[in-house]
Structure 1
């Protein structure tokens, strides 16, 4: 079996570990793997890993080509977002390329945008498609956690631990903005792990006036500093917008806003992400060998599972209510 593998959309720590797993699992089972650079754009451009030119025979990745990459952030295949692939014509072009190079299967690693493209491709192409969930947002239905999420939380927590020192020294409130345009998983888990007092997430209508009232209560309880974790997609706006609104709501603390931005995407993946990526990459290859297609390889309650692509993005992945309540109880 000839398997193509690519990384698409925003990069996530652990993508390299997943790639390593795909290559070595395939090689051990007698299959060949071709790395496709720059995601779906590279698929259309016929841009293969190990061959910087285009239009030539696709080079095969060996087990040695993925040595010592699990500890590296980013992706050695590079990633991108491809508007052209969102069209029917783009999907047809991808099918033509895959057939021309005699691919039997494709393993895309990415988030909901990647899986939307994979779902369209699996319907138009006779080959098999199995996806691995690589996104720091943890917003895909059908897997407890996505590759890269644990590392992004760790990165944000490391930053907040340092900010807490300054917050305590100056009796300040810090608004720390993390990624999450539509999902608050990263903000909520970061807030819990960093002992933050409040998390502002897209899923919950948190207005500045209510935040100010909560902050005033916490100050009356003897709080010298406050950390508020704000998802970039919070309904009141990001950290900077919320900071201005808090000033208008008689916030009792001097406030500062910090935007962590793309630092959350980088860095060496945590052991949890490396293990998850390794399990899912291997499971994806084994699922292809079993004839499966049109599915995401995920993990639920410690077990590898297969979930149809359409189900992974069909609805919003809810936040765990018990953890929202837990954060509130711990903030006093």
Structure 2
């Protein structure tokens, strides 16, 4: 643990091991007391658990080893913490441990940082901003002192040595922020330069304790409470502010829901019918009025809102795509159109909620209705693109299943005829569907929008693979292409122009030329566009089960705990795991380069 707030502030001055600093009488002592109380409380709880299990209490404070640095503030921290641990009993004298010393700033010890930067800039003959960057480098060595990297090595080596020498004991180490900073960098799994950048500043607002374990000569973080870097702290505070604002907009009270209105927006997908059916069934059982909106946000603007009956939902559970229609309605981005939709929707969402099924664009529309107009809205993920982070989207697995059936047929034909097939899969802005189809079907290659250089991939991977494998008996040649993937062979990208280019190159290869008494198999190069057939896939059992589970949870959570779900997308993370994702936190899913690389048997593409 480190000292709290000292009299000479390390924010403004170079302190280091040469300056005998003292705890600030008000803030520093109070913080030290708080650390001691928290540590004593934790040890007491662990002791109770060990007693209950009839195990020896290895966290007996009387057996602790206490180590401090030479600076008075670490001794003062020890005194405050030990007072909390021993409750008036005498404590052992602490041991001075060199590994706990702070940085050695040499001649600049005690100097104001602003003055130091100006003097360094003058000495180096550079701007102050440049001097500041130089001084933040871990290898920058202070005049007659040391560098941070020197400290880093001393701290880690010293703690390893201490842990090995005191095997079987518990040690309380009282130290400085620079020591904990070195420790955080060491424990971070990232390379040194990345971790150093993350923890380049250690703020007074951060926590004070790191729990370590040394086993078999190796040191690791058993549990860390080192607080947040400045960037993480800002991000956390921003998140808390935005999330508090989301909850403030929730006007629906528990057990007050009277009706739900559901719509499907964007590209259609399998599983929408199963979700809508479950919304009606569960809503009806809970005494709610249930309404559907035809054709998504377009239907809101046109007031196509209808009360749902049992007759409406018969057979809906197995319906391919959306049984109440869907649409892409770009005009809904306009405030005037949204206001028209709100006028139509308002009578239905008094004591009610809107449920939006769709992808990322649909969730942006739902967020606008919630944040701008206060509509109590919940999202459900539905998109064959499966491009929402943190959830499986309805329709994705059904689309992959249907594509796999078609691709298997094409592979059989390719193997029999020696043909080359380029299969275009939907996903103009997202390659997740194409990747899943290619990986599951063991395609020869995959061309997606996310690739950093599609032209190089065509020339090196696609043509390179064909150069090696064309003519191999019973070998299929099939490549998956995400629609509109850009390349130089056609302005529309995708399979357009690609087939002709590849066929032309193959035709020029010497081994493809006829010779006396040799007539090579001439491979046909063809494009197959699966396209919208995947949107109309019949829902497979997995999609139907996820849809029903999500819809059931949406209704019950809206009734029981609306504050936890209104203004959120209800995500299906894994089998049986459902949790809300605030609409303000819904982001596109990152392309899985690990799977892409595994598919190609190569090192991960960056």
Same fold, TM-score > 0.5, yes or no? yes
Task: Report what 1:119 is aligned to.
Answer: 367
Task: Report what 2:599 is aligned to.
Answer: 327
Task: Report what 1:254 is aligned to.
Answer: 524
Give CA deviations for 1:30-88 in whole Å, capped at 9, x if unaligned.
22111111111111111124xxxxxxxxx3x2455423311110222111122221111
Task: Report what 1:76 is aligned to.
Answer: 323
Correspondent of 1:201 among 429, 443, 448: 448
Task: Report what 2:304 is aligned to.
Answer: 47
1:4 equivalent in alignment to 2:261? yes
Q: Aligned partners of 1:276, 1:78: CA distance in 2, in Å? A: 20
1:263 equivalent in alignment to 2:549? no
Q: Aligned partners of 2:442, 2:363: CA distance in 1, in Å? A: 34
Task: Report what 2:546 is aligned to.
Answer: 276
Correspondent of 1:129 among 356, 377, 380: 377
Q: Which has the larger radius of gyration?
A: 2
- Higher relative CO (Cα under 8 Å, sequence separation at least 6) belongs to 1
Say if 1:177 and 1:261, in contact at 8 Å, map to a contact too. Answer: yes
Between 217-226 and 114-123, the greater mean CA deviation after superposition: 217-226
SS in 2 for 1:280: helix
Q: Aligned partners of 1:254, 1:329: CA distance in 2, in Å? A: 27
Say if 1:95 and 1:124, in contact at 8 Å, map to a contact too. Answer: no
Structure 2 regions of 5+ residues with no counterpart?
1-257, 488-492, 510-522
- TM superposition shift of 1:220: 8.0
Say if 2:275 and 2:547, in contact at 8 Å, map to a contact too. Answer: yes
Task: Report what 1:86 is aligned to.
Answer: 333
Say if 1:128 and 1:288, in contact at 8 Å, map to a contact too. Answer: no
Say if 1:137 and 1:180, in contact at 8 Å, map to a contact too. Answer: yes
1:232 equivalent in alignment to 2:474? no
Give CA deviations for 1:163-219 in whole Å, capped at 9, x if unaligned.
112111211110000100011111111112212111111111332211211322344
Say if 2:415 and 2:474, in contact at 8 Å, map to a contact too. Answer: no
Q: Aligned partners of 1:223, 1:240: CA distance in 2, in Å? A: 27
Q: Aligned partners of 2:594, 2:330: CA distance in 1, in Å? A: 38
1:15 equivalent in alignment to 2:285? no
Say if 2:424 and 2:494, in contact at 8 Å, map to a contact too. Answer: yes
Q: Aligned partners of 2:272, 2:553: CA distance in 1, in Å? A: 15
- TM superposition shift of 1:258: 0.8
- TM superposition shift of 1:89: 1.2
- TM superposition shift of 1:257: 0.8
The RMSD of aligned alpha carbons is 2.0
Say if 1:209 and 1:249, in contact at 8 Å, map to a contact too. Answer: no
1:152 equivalent in alignment to 2:422? no
Q: Aligned partners of 1:203, 1:71: CA distance in 2, in Å? A: 34
Q: Aligned partners of 2:264, 2:349: CA distance in 1, in Å? A: 20
1:25 equivalent in alignment to 2:282? yes
TM (norm. structure 1) is 0.89
1:318 equivalent in alignment to 2:590? yes
Task: Report what 1:183 is aligned to.
Answer: 430
Q: Aligned partners of 1:134, 1:294: CA distance in 2, in Å? A: 17
Q: Aligned partners of 1:245, 1:149: CA distance in 2, in Å? A: 31
- TM superposition shift of 1:321: 2.7
Over 3 Å counting, the alpha-carbon distance change for 1:96 and 1:22 in structure 2 is same
SS in 2 for 1:76: coil
Q: Aligned partners of 2:583, 2:284: CA distance in 1, in Å? A: 26
